[in-house]
Amino acid sequence: MSSSEASYESQLADAIDQRDPLVIRQLIEQGEFVLLTAKAGAEDAAEADSEDDIDNIFCVNVDDMDLMVTFTNDEAVKDFVMEMQDMYEDSEDIEGYVLEGPALLAYTPPEMGILINPESDRNMAIDAELFALVQSAEA
């Protein structure tokens, strides 16, 4: 992880700890985030073309909070995938999508919070209430 990534993550963690929606919004707008999806794979080639395969964005429930799982760097993605590999069948494909910060703010459902870099030393959670304030803050 580069020092600029560590600095960004440190600033974001501090803003989350202080529950400062404006600073959190400004930092998220500057960042790129990776979202993971699990797609149930088809058993044979005929099924592979089926539209029944469904992509599911990784989400978790922590302390009764629904959180969308996001990552700020490739190392955090790798750590998470390695740690969670036993939870998913071999037929499931895990794919990552890079999302610019403004898109994350615009498209995260209002009832969701976000969990940033789970399974890493710098994991951070923004509950749905705080995330709604972040989404509505004027940058």
Mean pLDDT throughout 19-43?
Answer: 88
Contact 97, 24 (CB under 8 A): no
pTM of the predicted model, to two decimals? 0.81
Confidence of residue 6 (pLDDT cuts 50, 70, 90): low
* Between 55 and 118, residue with greater pLDDT: 118
Task: Please tell me the distance from the alpha carbon of residue 73 to that of residue 2, in angstroms, as a whole number.
Answer: 10
Mean pLDDT of the chain: 85
Which residue, among 41, 107, 44, has the nearest Cα to 70 in the 3D structure?
Answer: 107
Contacts (Cβ under 8 Å, ≥6 apart) of 47: none
pLDDT recorded at residue 48: 47
* Residue 45 reports pLDDT greater than 80: no
